[in-house]
Structure 1
Amino acid sequence: MTLDLRIFTEPQQGASYDDQLAVARTADELGYSAFFRSDHFLAMGGRDGLPGPTDSWTTLAGLARETSTIRLGTLVSSATFRHPGVLAIQVAQVDQMSGGRVELGLGAGWFEAEHAAYGIPFPAKRFGLLEEQLEILTGLWGTPVGETYSFQGAHYTVKDSPALPKPAQDRIPVIVGGNGLRRTPALAARFADEFNMSFPDVGSVAERVDVVRAACQDAGRDPESMVFSAALVLAVGKDDAQFERRAAAIGREPAELREHGVAGTVAEAVDTLSALREAGLSRVYLQTLDLQDLDHLELVASDVRPQLG
């Protein structure tokens, strides 16, 4: 099984649109399959976040017109940020603008401080919002042209929607993930094309894959139809010295990165990615935190990726 490598960025930590465009174009030219970004409005970990946040779907709309083949998406948009009808229109439009290259990662939201900073409501219970949003999004996109869509739930009501516009793709891939062992796998089995694990311990991946595969079977779905992926921080060097410089640039300790990320020398990165593939993953999102270091992407593309088969 080949391992699909994608670039995943965190622009809220400090990145302009042009910074993101440079990374997306470089990833496109180097043959990575996708450029994904987080959907956050506030920097974390003591960063100032300058020049300030950029909206994920506004950014992806721009990138849709300025890239050619790379797929584009969020890991993940928050159900608290947008009403599902508006999000359905936004995502479908960006999919049209990109010629059918968009994917949607959607989560319940967790970062209360960014909601407070921008006046966004942050309800205590959010899983129900996520479930209904997934129901509405897939329902709107899947309604045939000329028919209408309605939905009545505890959180949202949709009445006689024309369910337009339609995406360019027959189905926009939907990504659901999380650390829960019951509700989230069941939700993914109902709605998702891909189940994503956020920064897992490598040793836990196989068990978590099995849990989601069992949820698919319980839902009457073929587990082979689910893509399994993980997001892990990236810090790789040609040698220890280059790796340590890259670790310092993102404010992380080398030993911690080696334990929790795709990190170290090229050989170490290959070993980690190979172990993830053996555990059942077919895709890894490489969390790229230094968006100025485009040589980092080149190194992985030229020295790591060819060794993965």
Structure 2
Amino acid sequence: MLLRIFTEPQQGASYDTLLRVAQATEECGFDAFFRSDHYLKMGDVSGLPGPSDAWITLAGLARETRRIRLGTLVTAATFRSPGPLAIAVANVDQMSGGRVELGLGTGWFEEEHTAYGIPFPSLRERFDRLEEQLQIVTGLWEKPIGKAFSFDGEYYQVADSPALPKPAQQPRPPVIIGGVGAKRTPRLAARYADEYNVPFNGLPETEAAYERVRAACEQGGRACQSMTFSAAQVVCCGRDEAEIARRAAAIGRKVDELRLNGLAGTPAEVVEKIGRFREIGAERMYLQVLDLDDLDHLELIASEVLPQM
């Protein structure tokens, strides 16, 4: 089981804050640093100093880290056209020496779209656009150098693209698709994804979602073993009840609720629950860290939880 740190910068984080967390992630021995791709805060927080662009910040972190994987969980297909997205991610992959992963989804938070003038079509159209983006982005990356790429879809048309630049990873960076949709999500994951992620769901819901993707892989003639399964859970770990309660209060949550809906408790409790996700097939766990000033939290998890993985 690989442990990855997952942050939500739209809740209030400067680039310098993200840099400190990413470097601590690397120093502590975690596998990866991921961030959400959102443009508006959620809930009762100030959101100061304001949103940051996911791929611009990851480009900076690519030059300030050496080992950890870097990526989004997940980029909204509504935010960027597929051609510029393919260029940006390939650039960051080159800048990192081949450590980038692209999580791509439909987009869901309507308020951030209206706040920044981004069109927000129906769910059906967002899924249609996502599928076309997956075809274009992966097609641009995988097209051999010297060959042109073209695509004629309902929403996007690409004509005689040189399909450059190429990412450092060949044939392309890993693609992550997540969510618990029962129909289109499993099919898209089986066709395009290297990793399937279930965020913030309980064990029964997560296991059922994994089974749907496994079934879609089999129906599409793909070996299930070629898919990596992962989950994301908020983490709140403490050496004793007082420390657990302090960390829960700092993110505006209740300990009992976090124990039910996340990875909360002592290191032994966190290890035990991660183990239950491993039993249903999870190979990677994204630990959502909401208090980005509490680097001692990362150090505790690294010293007491990570060695047991």
Cα separation, 1, equivalents of 2:119 and 2:204: 37
Q: Which residue identity is paired with 1:123?
A: P
**C-alpha contact 1:149 1:160 (8 A) present in aligned 2:** yes
Deviations 1:11-42 (A, max 9, x none): 00000000000000000011111000000010
Report the equivalent of 2:130. 130
Deviations 1:218-250 (A, max 9, x none): 111000000000110010001111001000000
Paired residues, number: 306
Structure 1 residue 211 displacement after superposition: 1.3
Structure 1 residue 156 displacement after superposition: 0.3
**What is the 5 A alignment of 1:85-100?**
85-100=83-98
**What is the 5 A alignment of 1:172-211?**
172-211=173-212
**What is the 5 A alignment of 1:1-309?**
3-124=1-122, 125-170=125-170, 171-308=172-309
Cα separation, 2, equivalents of 1:83 and 1:205: 31
**C-alpha contact 1:205 1:280 (8 A) present in aligned 2:** no
Q: Which residue identity is paired with 1:83?
A: S
**C-alpha contact 1:33 1:71 (8 A) present in aligned 2:** yes
Q: Which residue identity is paired with 2:158?
A: V
Cα separation, 2, equivalents of 1:296 and 1:46: 23
User: SS of the residue aligned with 1:126?
Assistant: helix
What is the identity percentage for the equivalent residue pairs of Structure 1 and Structure 2? 64
Cα separation, 2, equivalents of 1:72 and 1:246: 26
Cα separation, 1, equivalents of 2:224 and 2:281: 12
With normalisation by structure 1, the TM-score equals 0.98
Q: Which residue identity is paired with 1:50?
A: L
Structure 1 residue 205 displacement after superposition: 2.3
Structure 1 residue 113 displacement after superposition: 0.5
Q: Which residue identity is paired with 1:142?
A: E
User: SS of the residue aligned with 2:305?
Assistant: helix
Cα separation, 2, equivalents of 1:211 and 1:306: 32
**C-alpha contact 1:23 1:291 (8 A) present in aligned 2:** yes
Specify every segment of 5 or more residues in structure 2 that has no aligned partner in the other structure, as ranges.
none
User: SS of the residue aligned with 1:120?
Assistant: coil
Cα separation, 1, equivalents of 2:209 and 2:11: 29
Specify every segment of 5 or more residues in structure 1 that has no aligned partner in the other structure, as ranges.
none
Q: State the superposition RMSD in angstroms.
A: 0.7
Structure 1 residue 46 displacement after superposition: 1.8
Deviations 1:138-187 (A, max 9, x none): 00000000000000111100000000000000020000011111210100
Cα separation, 2, equivalents of 1:179 and 1:282: 17
Structure 1 residue 203 displacement after superposition: 2.6
Q: Which residue identity is paired with 1:9?
A: T
Q: Which residue identity is paired with 1:99?
A: G
Cα separation, 1, equivalents of 2:306 and 2:263: 12
Cα separation, 2, equivalents of 1:208 and 1:105: 17
Q: Which residue identity is paired with 1:167?
A: P
User: SS of the residue aligned with 2:252?
Assistant: coil
Cα separation, 2, equivalents of 1:120 and 1:38: 17
Structure 1 residue 286 displacement after superposition: 0.3
Cα separation, 2, equivalents of 1:242 and 1:202: 26
Cα separation, 1, equivalents of 2:73 and 2:134: 15
Bigger mean CA offset, 196-205 vs 144-153: 196-205
Cα separation, 2, equivalents of 1:286 and 1:164: 34
User: SS of the residue aligned with 2:75?
Assistant: strand
